[in-house]
């Protein structure tokens, strides 16, 4: 892993910064620094248009191989892109799930037909995707899948029935990747399939979940005889767990850089306010701001180290600590934001009395250490899979 950048990389940095300065302005000026956690509902139409603007400039899917329309950028160049995107105030990406999760998974495991069918829309910033993993009553047990997929030979289609929950931006997405049980007699990680499902069909119902912030980024998604074609299963029936885990590898890989981009813009705003309102003169606040900066740098270098794995989504063991680390860091950042704001953190000064960005951040981050696997689950994963310790005793049903 390299920690410095070559002259060629620095030239790439100038290219990125120049394009952003010339294009993230005018009609796109209002979306600078918007769309982060707790702010996903803001400027949706404008951020969709921004996705296509990025694509026109060749700045989507920059890490994809050139044969699939990407730039074939190195990890170092992807880091540079995300750094400059954060520095310029680039908005939260609407297409990041397709670009950083679905795209790499299809490139690694998809058929030629699947790549031809789905990759162009993702790369163009036109097709948005959501994730169909979590289910009601499953908690952090991703393998506790109840959604069923049955193949109908008459129609040559898979028929899906079940429910997913906490599906981010499902109401804005054209497609969803769904893990469903192809063998009704199976349990756990066996007998699963990984499906590519069109959200615009009669068998799909999306119901928003209003959150503590008053917004509804998350949704419940119901599949009632929803269908996808025989060719829209990635990998073989029963092999969905392997594909699903590979996708999570990509989630913990390059996509983490985009997440850190949002974190950086939040930290920058908090530091700016601390300087303006005098909070930076408080020794304890200064210490916590420094700790936050250090923590974000550690996060970045750990991401670069864990991405030194294979191109099939496999990661180094450093990836095991990532969720626990960023979730705790981000929760602490939300609390720091409130302390920097002081009494203003509890006030809405003028109509329409909507939460400001940092108030939403604080409320949203209360969930960071719960969703996507609680901190307790993450510690078990580190102990058992990274350190090779005995499995925690499980209760019997």
Q: Is residue 295 in a domain?
A: yes
Task: With a cut of 60, say whether residue 341 has pLDDT above it.
Answer: yes
Place 265 in a pLDDT band, splitting at 50, 70 and 90: confident
Give the end of a domain, one of 207, 238, 269: 238
Place 308 in a pLDDT band, splitting at 50, 70 and 90: low
Q: Is residue 117 in a domain?
A: no
For position 332, which CATH number holds? Answer: 1.20.140.10
Please indicate, yes or no, whether residues 72 and 168 belong to a single structural domain of this protein: no
Q: Is residue 45 in a domain?
A: yes
Q: Is residue 106 in a domain?
A: no
What pLDDT score was predicted for residue 213?
A: 83
Please indicate, yes or no, whether residues 215 and 173 belong to a single structural domain of this protein: yes
In this prediction, residues 255-280 reach a mean pLDDT of: 88
What pLDDT score was predicted for residue 243?
A: 94
In this prediction, residues 272-295 reach a mean pLDDT of: 97
Residue with the larger pLDDT of the pair 275 and 254: 275
Residue with the larger pLDDT of the pair 158 and 307: 158
- Annotate 218-249 with b (16+ C-beta within 10 A) or e (fewer): bbbbbbeebbbeeebbbbebebbbbbbebbbb
What pLDDT score was predicted for residue 353?
A: 79
SS3 50: helix
The beta strand positions in the chain, using DSSP E, are 129-132, 148-152, 157-164, 175-181, 192-198, 204-209, 218-229, 233-238
In this prediction, residues 348-361 reach a mean pLDDT of: 83
Please indicate, yes or no, whether residues 308 and 343 belong to a single structural domain of this protein: yes
Q: Average model confidence (pLDDT) for the chain?
A: 89
Please indicate, yes or no, whether residues 234 and 256 belong to a single structural domain of this protein: no
- What's the token pair of residue 269? 């705003």
Task: With a cut of 70, say whether residue 310 has pLDDT above it.
Answer: no
Please indicate, yes or no, whether residues 285 and 331 belong to a single structural domain of this protein: yes
Task: With a cut of 80, say whether residue 253 has pLDDT above it.
Answer: no
Give the end of a domain, one of 175, 208, 238: 238
Please indicate, yes or no, whether residues 260 and 380 belong to a single structural domain of this protein: yes
**What are the tens digits of pLDDT across the range 374-389?**
899 889 888 988 888 9
Task: Give the separation between CA 268 and CA 265, rounded to whole angstroms.
Answer: 5
Task: With a cut of 70, say whether residue 314 has pLDDT above it.
Answer: no
Please indicate, yes or no, whether residues 196 and 289 belong to a single structural domain of this protein: no
Query: Please, what sign has the CA dihedral across residues 104, 252, 221, 236?
Result: positive
Please indicate, yes or no, whether residues 59 and 155 belong to a single structural domain of this protein: no
**What are the tens digits of pLDDT across the range 96-129?**
999 989 999 999 999 999 999 999 999 999 999 9
What pLDDT score was predicted for residue 45?
A: 95
Expressed as residue numbers, the domain containing 374 is 252-387
- What's the token pair of residue 259? 């997440």
Task: Give the separation between CA 46 and CA 44, rounded to whole angstroms.
Answer: 5
For position 19, which CATH number holds? Answer: 1.10.540.10
For position 193, which CATH number holds? Answer: 2.40.110.10
CB 234 within 8 A of CB 242: no
**What are the tens digits of pLDDT across the range 175-215?**
999 999 999 999 888 999 999 999 999 999 999 999 888 88
**What are the tens digits of pLDDT across the range 45-60?**
999 999 999 999 999 9
What pLDDT score was predicted for residue 35?
A: 84
Task: With a cut of 60, say whether residue 144 has pLDDT above it.
Answer: yes
Please indicate, yes or no, whether residues 205 and 301 belong to a single structural domain of this protein: no
Tokens 């996705």 sit at which residue? 51
Residue with the larger pLDDT of the pair 312 and 49: 49
In this prediction, residues 250-271 reach a mean pLDDT of: 80
Please indicate, yes or no, whether residues 258 and 151 belong to a single structural domain of this protein: no
CB 234 within 8 A of CB 114: yes
Q: Is residue 101 in a domain?
A: no
What pLDDT score was predicted for residue 252?
A: 67
**What are the tens digits of pLDDT across the range 161-175?**
999 998 989 999 999
What pLDDT score was predicted for residue 307?
A: 66
Task: With a cut of 90, say whether residue 62 has pLDDT above it.
Answer: yes
What pLDDT score was predicted for residue 316?
A: 65
Stretch among 71-75, 194-198, 270-274 having the lowest mean pLDDT: 71-75
Task: With a cut of 80, say whether residue 69 has pLDDT above it.
Answer: yes
Give the end of a domain, one of 238, 269, 293: 238
Q: Is residue 118 in a domain?
A: no
- 220 is an active site residue: no
What pLDDT score was predicted for residue 1?
A: 60
What pLDDT score was predicted for residue 391?
A: 84
Residue with the larger pLDDT of the pair 207 and 250: 207
In three state form, how does the secondary structure of 159-180 look?
EEEEEECCCCCHHHCCEEEEEE
Q: Is residue 332 in a domain?
A: yes
In this prediction, residues 331-339 reach a mean pLDDT of: 97
Please indicate, yes or no, whether residues 265 and 381 belong to a single structural domain of this protein: yes
What pLDDT score was predicted for residue 2?
A: 61
What pLDDT score was predicted for residue 103?
A: 95
Of 76, 135, 217, 251, which is the active-site residue?
Answer: 251
The beta strand positions in 351-394, using DSSP E, are none
What pLDDT score was predicted for residue 141?
A: 77
Number of separate domains in the chain: 3
SS3 43: coil
Q: Is residue 200 in a domain?
A: yes
Most confident option among 135-144, 298-307, 340-349: 340-349
Please indicate, yes or no, whether residues 318 and 295 belong to a single structural domain of this protein: yes
């Amino acid at each position: 892993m390299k920690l410095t950048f070559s002259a060629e990389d620095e030239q790439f940095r100038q290219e990125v910064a120049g394009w952003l300065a010339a294009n993230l302005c005018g009609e796109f000026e209002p979306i600078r620094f918007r769309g982060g956690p707790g702010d996903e509902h803001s400027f949706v139409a404008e951020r969709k248009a921004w996705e296509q603007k990025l694509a026109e400039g060749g700045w989507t899917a920059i890490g994809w191989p050139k044969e699939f329309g990407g730039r074939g950028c190195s990890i170092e160049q992807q880091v540079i892109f995300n750094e400059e995107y954060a520095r310029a105030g680039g908005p939260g990406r609407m297409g990041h799930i397709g670009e950083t999760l679905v795209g790499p998974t299809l490139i690694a495991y998809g058929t030629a037909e699947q790549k031809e069918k789905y990759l162009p829309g993702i790369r163009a910033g036109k097709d948005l995707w959501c994730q169909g993993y979590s289910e009601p009553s499953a908690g952090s047990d991703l393998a506790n899948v109840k959604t069923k997929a049955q193949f109908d030979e008459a129609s040559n289609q898979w028929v899906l029935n079940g429910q997913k929950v906490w599906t981010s931006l499902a109401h804005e997405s054209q497609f969803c990747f769904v893990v469903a049980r192809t063998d009704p007699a199976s349990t756990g990680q066996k007998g699963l399939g990984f499906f590519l499902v069109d959200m615009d069909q009669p068998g799909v119902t999306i119901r928003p979940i209003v959150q503590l912030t008053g917004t509804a980024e998350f949704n419940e998604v119901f599949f009632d005889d929803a269908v996808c074609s025989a060719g829209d299963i990635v990998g073989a029936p029963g092999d969905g767990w392997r594909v699903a885990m590979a996708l999570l590898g990509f989630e913990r890989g390059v996509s983490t850089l985009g997440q850190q981009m949002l974190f950086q813009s939040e930290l920058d705003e908090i530091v700016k306010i601390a300087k303006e309102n005098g909070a930076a003169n408080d020794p304890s606040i200064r210490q916590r701001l420094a700790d936050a900066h250090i923590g974000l740098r550690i996060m970045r270098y750990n991401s670069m180290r864990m991405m030194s794995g294979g191109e099939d989504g496999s990661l180094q063991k450093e990836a095991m600590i990532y969720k626990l680390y960023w979730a705790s860091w981000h929760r602490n950042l939300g609390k720091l934001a409130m302390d920097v704001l002081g009494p203003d953190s509890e006030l809405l000064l003028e109509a329409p009395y909507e939460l400001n960005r940092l108030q939403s951040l604080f409320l949203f981050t209360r969930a960071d250490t719960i969703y996507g696997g609680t901190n307790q689950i993450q510690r078990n994963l580190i102990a058992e899979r990274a350190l090779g310790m005995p499995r925690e005793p499980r209760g019997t049903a």
